[in-house]
């Protein structure tokens, strides 16, 4: 008999993407599908793209229901995973898609999120040096934030190689509206977002400490932008170079054996549509001819490599399954 996966927060966008991926996983079957206010609602009412689940109903979120599974995914808002995770059986492997367990510093958690720090779990970005082994040896993994995944994959190898000045990092990144979750918000109404680009949390985004922790950057200026599309992230990362190394070659060497990170051929630049529905991140790098700064552009699906896909990649490692199981390298087009 195969292993089972339970999802808390299964009614949300990231939760729905997890269900879609798990339905096609060769080694995992769906256990409890838990929700908060949507408990009792048919799954297909909120996820009509999943007709296989037409007979399923969202359950109330209880530790007992979740602990019956081999792996539990917590796709909950920031600040809600810690208390629930503490009640789960120690024998259950857990992947948290929220921020509760990502930061090492309790002081940084309190500064950026407020409330008490729930503790630090193994950080879930397998492409970082040593991370894959640490994840496989763990039972609790904190998956990355969506912006953090896109920016860290672009920046970390440059800092590690001594190419990038860790004290001079500037990022502008655009994200689709699904990154804000499914809860109704006036500024996310179609009428509000169509034909508009709008910055938000300028100079104060909660992913900053996570990105610094994961990359070794010591100073990060980050401007996130809401884009009028459902899903996708495009991040432009610029740094002051400390060496004359070719940034594209540094990235290519770092990810030469990585199935989900692709340094594109010279002259080809990442764009969000190319990563849609995949667990891939596309990268390209160059030197700015005027300023001399290194420019790296990164694209991924915020619900894929930025959330559900990344979480499933981590779960595969936790469970000793093939890392690529249930995940697509290729995007969907048009």
42 beta partners: 57
3-143+305-319 and 147-302, same CATH topology = no
- How far apart CA 162 and CA 168 sit, in angstroms, is 13
Q: What confidence score (pLDDT) does residue 191 get?
A: 67
pLDDT band (50, 70, 90) for residue 178:
confident
Q: So what's the pLDDT on residue 184? A: 60
Q: Report residue 194's pLDDT band, with 50, 70 and 90 as the boundaries.
A: confident
For 34-76, how does the pLDDT look when each residue is reduced to its tens digit (9 = 90+)?
999 999 999 999 999 999 999 999 999 999 999 999 999 999 9
Superfamily designation of domain 147-302 = Dihydrodipicolinate Reductase; domain 2 (3.30.360.10)
Residue 196 confidence class, pLDDT cut points 50, 70, 90: confident
Looking at the chain, which runs of residues are DSSP E strands?
Answer: 3-8, 28-35, 59-60, 71-74, 93-96, 122-124, 140-143, 164-175, 198-199, 220-226, 233-241, 261-263, 281-287, 294-300
User: Which candidate in 66, 75, 146, 239 is catalytic?
Assistant: 146
Q: How far apart are CA 306 and CA 328, in angstroms?
A: 14
Domain boundaries, the chain: 3-143+305-319, 147-302
Whole-angstrom distance, CA of residue 122 vs CA of residue 137: 9
Please give the pLDDT value at position 145. 94
Is the overall model pTM greater than 0.85, yes or no?
yes
Q: What is the pLDDT of residue 195?
A: 85
Is 146 among the catalytic positions? yes
Asked if 312 and 135 touch (Cβ cutoff 8 Å), the reply is no
Q: What are 6-30's pLDDT values in tens digits? A: 999 999 999 999 999 999 999 999 9
**Confidence at residue 115, expressed as pLDDT on a 0 to 100 scale:** 87
Please state, as a whole number, how many other Cβ atoms lie within 10 Å of the Cβ of residue 331: 20
- The pLDDT of 179-185, averaged and rounded, is 66
User: What are the tokens at 207?
Assistant: 């992913």
Given this model, what pLDDT does residue 181 score?
A: 66
**Beta pairing partners, 225:** 174, 199
- Percent of the chain having pLDDT more than 90? 91
Tell me the pLDDT tens digit for each residue of 111-168: 999 889 999 999 999 999 999 999 999 999 999 999 999 999 999 999 999 999 999 9
pLDDT value at position 189?
66
- Please calculate the CA angle 57-59-63 and round it to the nearest 5 degrees: 155
C-alpha–C-alpha distance, residues 276 and 268, integer Å? 17
Beta bridge partners of 239: 169, 294
The reported pLDDT for the residue numbered 56 is 97
Output the pLDDT for position 210. Answer: 97
Section 268-290 average pLDDT: 97
Beta bridge partners of 59: 34
Q: Which homologous superfamily does the CATH classification assign to the domain defined by 3-143+305-319? A: NAD(P)-binding Rossmann-like Domain (3.40.50.720)
Judge whether residue 1 has pLDDT over 60: no
């Amino acid at each position: 008999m195969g292993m089972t996966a339970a999802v808390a927060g299964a009614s949300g966008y990231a939760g729905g993407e997890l269900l879609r991926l798990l339905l096609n996983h060769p080694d995992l079957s769906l256990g409890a599908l838990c929700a908060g206010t949507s408990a009792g609602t048919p799954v297909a009412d909120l996820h009509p793209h999943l007709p296989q689940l037409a007979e399923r109903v969202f359950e109330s979120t209880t530790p007992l229901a979740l602990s019956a599974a081999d792996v539990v995914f917590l796709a909950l808002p920031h600040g809600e995973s810690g208390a629930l995770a503490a009640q789960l059986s120690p024998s259950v492997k857990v992947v948290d898609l929220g921020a509760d367990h990502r930061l090492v510093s309790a002081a940084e958690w309190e500064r950026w999120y407020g409330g008490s720090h729930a503790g630090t779990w193994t950080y879930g970005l397998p492409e970082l040096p040593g991370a894959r082994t640490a994840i496989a040896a763990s039972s609790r993994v904190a998956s990355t934030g969506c912006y953090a995944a896109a920016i860290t994959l672009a920046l970390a190898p440059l800092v590690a190689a001594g190419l990038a000045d860790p004290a001079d990092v500037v990022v502008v990144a655009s994200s689709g509206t699904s990154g804000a979750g499914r809860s109704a918000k006036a500024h996310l109404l179609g009428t509000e977002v169509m034909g508009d680009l709008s910055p938000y949390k300028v100079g104060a985004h909660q992913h900053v400490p996570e990105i610094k922790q994961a990359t070794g950057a010591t100073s990060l200026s980050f401007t996130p932008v809401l884009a009028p599309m459902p899903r996708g992230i495009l991040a432009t990362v610029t740094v002051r170079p400390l060496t004359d190394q070719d940034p594209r070659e540094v990235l290519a060497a770092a990810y030469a054996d990585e199935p989900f990170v692709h340094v594109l051929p010279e002259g080809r630049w990442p764009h969000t549509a190319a990563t849609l529905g995949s667990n891939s991140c596309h990268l390209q790098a160059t030197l700015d001819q005027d300023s001399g700064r290194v420019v790296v552009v990164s694209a991924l699906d915020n619900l894929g490599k930025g959330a559900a896909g990344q979480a499933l990649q981590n779960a595969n490692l936790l469970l000793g399954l093939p890392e690529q199981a249930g995940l697509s390298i290729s995007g969907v087009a048009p």
